[in-house]
């Protein structure tokens, strides 16, 4: 399977992350690359901190 970053793909950037078993299956599957994963974690932390103020 071909693993691509959904966020990079949506931005029109190179999105290849990895190739996983079964290698003969060329189906795309999606994840977040390390940069987008970190941005997502930061956004979640920011939102969580904002909910504490309520």
pLDDT, tens only, 41-50? 999 999 999 8
Burial class (CB within 10 angstroms; exposed 0-12, middle 13-18, buried 19+) of 3: middle
Say yes or no to pLDDT of 54 above 60. no
What 3-state DSSP class applies to 4? strand
For the chain, first and last CA: distance in Å? 44
Q: Encoding tokens for residue 41?
A: 């974690």
> What rounded mean pLDDT belongs to the chain?
94
Mean pLDDT, rounded, for 25-52: 94
Q: Could you give the CA distance from residue 2 to residue 8 in angstroms, rounded to a whole number?
A: 14
The pTM of the full predicted model, rounded to 2 decimals, is: 0.78
pLDDT surpassing 70 at residue 52: no
pLDDT greater than 60 at residue 6: yes
| Annotated domain spans of the chain | 2-52
CA distance 48 to 28: 32
């Amino acid at each position: 399977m071909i693993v691509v970053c959904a966020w990079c793909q949506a931005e029109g950037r190179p999105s290849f992350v990895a190739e996983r078993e079964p290698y003969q299956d060329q189906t795309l599957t999606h994840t977040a690359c390390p940069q987008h994963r970190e941005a997502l974690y930061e956004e979640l932390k920011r939102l969580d901190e904002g909910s504490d103020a309520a």
